[in-house]
Amino acid sequence: MKSSHENLCRVSLLAWALIMSSATQAAEVKKPEATASAQRIPWAKALKESSPHFVIITNTTQDLAKQMSQSLEQQYADFVRRFQIRSEPKAPLPVKVFAEKAEFQKYAAEHGEKNNEHIAGYFDPNNKEIVLFWSDDPEDVLNTLYHEVTHYFVDLYMPKADAPLWMNEGLAVYFESSQFKNGKLETGLIPYGRLLDLQEALKNNKTHKLAALLRMDGYGENNYNLLAYAEGWSLVYFFATYQNGRHGQRFAAYMDELRKGRKPAEAFKNAFQASAEDLEPIWKDFVTKLKIESARGWFEKAQALYYDRKIDEALEACDQGLKIDPKFAKALLLRGTILYRLRKLPEALDALTKATEADPTQPRAFFYLARAHEDLFEEGNKRGSLLEAEKAYQKAIQLRPDYADAMGLLAWLYARVDDPKLNKIKDGIALAERAVELDPTAEVLDTLAECYFQNKEYAKAVAAIDRALAMNPPDKEYFQAQRKKFAAGVAQK
């Protein structure tokens, strides 16, 4: 949802019938392929995949466009059947999937979404389109799509209702946690990261009062207000599951009241025959008692602990999740990343190897696998292999064509390693030039300069290192020594 535009928060609710039909309703949906092509095409030549209700426009791959189109059409059919949408949309909905975040940000800014640094996608009800980008984590991209498609179908279902924000975002979060399993889409799964944040806030008495949440018409950018997303989700989940959905019919009545044009407070009173103050302690007690019961839940707890720099606890949570599912790729990746940063390189290599085997579509897993191989080699450990590092970097870049860090480090490998099998300095120059284009940091400019130097392009090396020095990098002595080396090459020539 377009978070910086309050007028866009008026998008209406989904019908309660979908949720109450089953907390884990399965729709026959094929999972889109997780990889975007390394052969990126310009957005001006983007591919299109049209269906009766959607037009997928993307510069990733035609296969991805086809599978997303099929998935969305099946979701549309499910929504129409369950919600009895009264009229067909006037035109198919454009779904624009950019291969790179920079492209997405440029497009979003040009179309009114100026504050787009920390969003993965949005539904624009004014221009009637969904816009997102294909990132490191395909699962996150799909979750974003489920979230935004929810807003679109809500808009079709209740186009004239001014729905409360907590309900609109709560329902979107409820559906964003959907996961593919055995070719089917499971809904109603707990987003454990949000749950853990909410439980912590409840413990510290920092949640909103239910009456205030029901009235809220905008979310701020601070952590306290962002809890409203988790609170909205938890209310939807509460109505769906508490005492076998005891409040489900009342919630359906509430939605019907809203669709008829009732004000939210009046609709709540008519439908629930109870006040927010009556429901608040029951709802909060319900949320407090929810427990982690899946590998995903333990992973999300580990991730939250890792971000809080509680490293030992994060590793323990990863291990708990891996006891439930030893091949849970995200937990293996997080475990490997933590171990790598703790310099426990052999253990990191094991975890990252397993992560890439469990899910060969994770660019970050291949990136850290390459780094582990490099560092082990430099330490003289026979398990480290520069050729394996090269392969892993190449795979990371194949999976994510804008992976500037992987490009820079592979270019550095080519520039500094004296090995006939890795004597690919021209490839290094091409990689470093692309990395500078994507992310012009002092470090990657130094890599580009070194590549030029190794290729005896001394003047270009000096120009690149001068750009790096102009950024006033912290280790200035190193960069000045590099410039002296490159300038000596110019003088000799």
- Write out pLDDT tens, residues 239-278: 888 887 777 778 878 878 888 888 888 888 888 888 889 9
Helix (H, G, I), strand (E, B) or coil at 419: coil
pLDDT of residue 86: 65
Q: Is 50 exceeded by the pLDDT of residue 3?
A: no
Q: What are phi and psi of 93, to 5 degrees?
A: -80, 125
Round to whole Å and give the CA distance between 324 and 294: 7
Give first-to-last CA distance, the chain, whole Å.
58
Give the mean pLDDT of the chain: 85
Which is more confidently placed, 68 or 279?
A: 279
- Are the beta carbons of 119 and 80 closer than 8 angstroms? no
Query: Which H or E run includes 296?
Result: helix 295-307
pLDDT per position as a tens digit, 68-91? 888 788 778 767 776 566 678 889
Judge residue 151's burial from the number of C-beta atoms within 10 Å of its C-beta, 0-12 exposed, 13-18 middle, 19 or more buried.
Answer: buried
Of the two residues 252 and 389, the one the predictor is more confident about is 389
Other residues' Cβ atoms within 10 Å of the Cβ of residue 108: 24
CATH architecture designation of domain 6-288: Orthogonal Bundle (1.10)
Average pLDDT over residues 102-118: 86
In tens, the pLDDT along 111-133 reads 988 787 778 899 998 889 999 99
Please give the residue that has the higher pLDDT: either 113 or 441: 441
List, as one string, the DSSP characters of 147-185. Answer: HHHHHHHHHHHSTT----HHHHHHHHHHHHT-EEETTEE
Look at residue 82 in the predicted model and tell me its pLDDT.
Answer: 62
Whether residue 258 contacts residue 264, with contact meaning beta carbons closer than 8 Å, is answered with yes
DSSP string, 64-129: HHHHHHHHHHHHHHHHHHHH--SS--SSPEEEEEESSHHHHHHHHHHTT----TT-SEEEETTTTE
The reported pLDDT for the residue numbered 180 is: 63
User: Could you report the per-residue pLDDT of 293-315, keeping only the tens digit for each?
Assistant: 889 899 988 988 898 899 999 99
CB burial class (10 A; 0-12, 13-18, 19+) of residue 43?
middle
pTM of the predicted structure, to 2 decimals: 0.75
Considering 61-65, 70-74, 379-383, the range whose residues carry the highest mean pLDDT is 379-383
Question: In this structure, what token pair is assigned to residue 326?
Answer: 């030893």
pLDDT band at 107 (very low <50, low <70, confident <90, very high): very high
**Mutual angle of helices 425-438 and 404-416, in 10-degree steps:** 150
Q: What is the pLDDT of residues 39-50, one digit of tens each?
A: 568 899 999 999
Mind listing the pLDDT tens digit for each residue in 442-474?
Answer: 999 999 999 999 999 999 999 999 999 999 998
Buried-exposed string 60-86: b where 16+ CB fall within 10 A, e elsewhere: bbeebbbbbbbbbeebbebbbebbebe
Of the candidate ranges 96-100, 187-191, 205-209, 337-341, the one whose mean pLDDT is the lowest: 187-191
| Residue whose tokens read 């498609």 | 149
Give the DSSP letter string of 343-396.
T-HHHHHHHHHHHHHH-TT-HHHHHHHHHHHHHHHHTT-TT--HHHHHHHHHHH
Given this model, what pLDDT does residue 189 score? 87
Report residue 13's pLDDT band, with 50, 70 and 90 as the boundaries. very low
Q: Does the structure show a pLDDT above 70 at 407?
A: yes
Q: Rounded to 5 degrees, what are φ and ψ at 51?
A: -140, 175
How many alpha carbons fall within 13 Å on the CB side of residue 64?
22
The whole-angstrom separation of Cα 339 and Cα 352 is 10
**CA atoms of 436 and 442, how far apart (whole Å):** 9
Identify the weakest region by mean pLDDT among 28-42, 101-115, 308-322, 355-369: 28-42
User: Strand 184-186 and strand 26-28: pairing?
Assistant: antiparallel
- Separation CA 75–CA 86 (nearest Å): 17
Q: Please name which of 478, 24, 466 lies closest in space to residue 245, comparing C-alpha atoms.
A: 24
The model's pLDDT over 176-226, given as tens digits with 9 standing for 90+, comes to 888 766 667 777 889 998 898 899 899 999 999 999 898 888 887 666 677
Q: Report how far residue 476's alpha carbon sits from residue 251's, in angstroms, rounded to the nearest whole number.
A: 62
**164-173, 216-225, 398-407: least confidently modelled range:** 216-225
How far is residue 128's CA from residue 107's CA, in Å, rounded to a whole number?
Answer: 15
CA distance 226 to 208: 11
In order of 270, 352, 412, 429, the CA distances from 487 in angstroms are 80, 41, 20, 19
- Residue 326 has a CB neighbour count (10 Å cut-off) of 12
Q: Retrieve residue 84's tokens.
A: 């009895």
Check residue 294 and report its DSSP letter. S
User: Would you state the pLDDT for residue 25?
Assistant: 41
